[in-house]
Structure 1
Amino acid sequence: MRLRGRKGIREDLEQQQDLVVLNPEAYKGKWRERFNNDYPIHVEFGMGKGRFISQMSVKNQQVNYIGFDMYDELVRRAAEKTRIAWNEAELGDPTTIQLALANIENIEDIFAPGEIERVYLNFSDPWPKKKHGRRRLTHPRFLEKYCRLLNTQGQIHFKTDSETLFEFSINSFADYGLQMTNISLNLHRDGINEEHVMTEYESKFMGKGMRIHRCEVLVGQDALQEYQKSRLDKY
């Protein structure tokens, strides 16, 4: 992705220390201290312009959100959207969301084992060429990292417009022995659920009539046990 950022962008980010984290490695094992609360931590890897993570933080005040991207221009745009969203909701300054500049390859240097509760992967780069398969964020080498960092309630929520990436990911989750649920090959077939928060890409693809694929992956033992119990209760 090539982005044309404005001049002085790094200086801009440095002046937003309440919301933007340029040294996330410094908070490994200490993110709750950064937030100054004990709410569960949900992260989005590859947040883009930040529409999803900012709206989620407004919608769910009892969850701490951290959005990650490796491009400083996208972090800047996400910070702008976050402040606008919180202001429009009359919530004051953002307190349960942080936006971090980081390469997802290094997430084990950013979080301690069991420190996060949910991972969102929204419209990640599909890396369509076979030789680039290891770069896909649902490749087993990334799943290993997520599983190590997620706690007993841990889940991965995955969404994409790419049928090829979705098929690859479903197989990847299955091969890794993970339980999938709420699998959808056309998420908005019956219309948009008002409870659903969409990304910029999602709105764009929806406008073109494209199908959105989604699934939830249960990683933590408690999350898995709750799922199994709910299935038994149905019968």
Structure 2
Amino acid sequence: MRLRHKPWAKERIDQYPQYVVADPEMYKGNWQEPFAIQQPLHIEIGSGKGRFITEMAKANPDINYIGIEVYQSVIVAALDRLIEADLPNVKLLNVNANDLGKFFAKNDVDRIYLNFSDPWPKTRHEKRRLTYKNYLNLYGSILRDAGEIHFKTDNQGLFEYSLMSFSQYGLLLKYISLDLHQSDFEGNIMTEYEQKFSEQGNRIYRCEVKYK
């Protein structure tokens, strides 16, 4: 995906610290503080334009959400959604997922969503996949005991790789769908990519795994 550079994005982000947390390091170990109500915390890594995280926050007011997106030119679209929705239970972070350990401590997070992550199909790029063992170790360092990862993709190769990676790491498989939109799964909230890929006839794969 080629991103269109938006030179005004940083200025707009800086104007809304109530939505995009400017200094996430200060909340490490205490992520209940920036939210109106103390409740479970779910994060989405690679939140894109924010459709999923915003709609999840609307549907589940008893959960706090954080959308993480590294690209300023993308996160401003999520910011616009959040400004319009004005939800008290969702924040955004403009940071790199590689740095999660700088911003979150053990037990800060109850669930992680990985939606339509870059598949990095070449073998030499395996370590960049967000379901690679090093990332699974990183997630485990911020999740509560028995915390979960919910994963969706349209890429069969990445899905098969991820199932193998989860298994080798020792995670417990709770749910698997090889064709989500033709399954009996209820309450699915689509991302922008999910709608696009589904309309193109692509099958959507989904699984839920839990740390032991």
Q: How does 1:193-232 map to 2 (within 5 A)?
A: 195-219=187-211, 221=212
1:190 Cα deviation from its structure 2 partner: 4.6
Question: Structure 1, residues 184-207: CA drift from partner, whole Å, max 9, x if none?
Answer: 11111258x662100001101110
Which structure features the higher share of helix residues? 1
Question: Which 5+ residue runs of structure 1 have no aligned equivalent?
Answer: 87-92, 222-235
Q: How does 1:127-166 map to 2 (within 5 A)?
A: 127-166=120-159
Contact kept? 1:187, 1:212, Cα under 8 Å: yes
Counterparts of 2:118 and 2:12 in 1: how far apart (Å)?
A: 27
Equivalent AA in structure 2 for residue 28 of structure 1: K
What is the match of residue 46 of structure 1? Answer: 46
Identity %: 44
Question: Structure 1, residues 71-98: CA drift from partner, whole Å, max 9, x if none?
Answer: 01111100112233x2xxxxxx321100
Secondary structure of the 2:47 match is coil
Contact kept? 1:24, 1:101, Cα under 8 Å: no
Q: How does 1:19-98 map to 2 (within 5 A)?
A: 19-84=19-84, 86=85, 93-98=86-91
Question: Structure 1, residues 146-202: CA drift from partner, whole Å, max 9, x if none?
Answer: 1121113410000000011001100000001111121011111258x6621000011
How many residues in Structure 1 have an aligned counterpart in Structure 2?
A: 212
Counterparts of 2:188 and 2:22 in 1: how far apart (Å)?
A: 30
Contact kept? 1:55, 1:82, Cα under 8 Å: no
What is the match of residue 175 of structure 1? Answer: 168
Counterparts of 2:63 and 2:47 in 1: how far apart (Å)?
A: 17
2:182 to 186, 189, 196: 189
- In the superposition, the TM-score normalised over structure 1's length comes to 0.86
What is the match of residue 106 of structure 2? Answer: 113
- Alpha-carbon RMSD across the aligned residues, in angstroms, is 1.5
Contact kept? 2:36, 2:89, Cα under 8 Å: no
Contact kept? 2:171, 2:210, Cα under 8 Å: yes
Equivalent AA in structure 2 for residue 198 of structure 1: M
Secondary structure of the 2:98 match is helix
Counterparts of 1:190 and 1:170 in 2: how far apart (Å)?
A: 19
Secondary structure of the 1:20 match is coil
Equivalent AA in structure 2 for residue 10 of structure 1: K
Counterparts of 1:137 and 1:32 in 2: how far apart (Å)?
A: 26
1:24 Cα deviation from its structure 2 partner: 1.9
Question: Which 5+ residue runs of structure 2 have no aligned equivalent?
Answer: none
Equivalent AA in structure 1 for residue 7 of structure 2: K
What is the match of residue 124 of structure 1? Answer: 117
Secondary structure of the 1:131 match is helix
Counterparts of 1:190 and 1:101 in 2: how far apart (Å)?
A: 34
Contact kept? 1:41, 1:117, Cα under 8 Å: yes
Secondary structure of the 1:31 match is coil
Larger Rg: 1
1:5 Cα deviation from its structure 2 partner: 3.5
Which 4+ residue blocks in structure 1 deviate beyond 4 angstroms?
Answer: none
Question: Structure 1, residues 18-43: CA drift from partner, whole Å, max 9, x if none?
Answer: 10123322221121111142200000
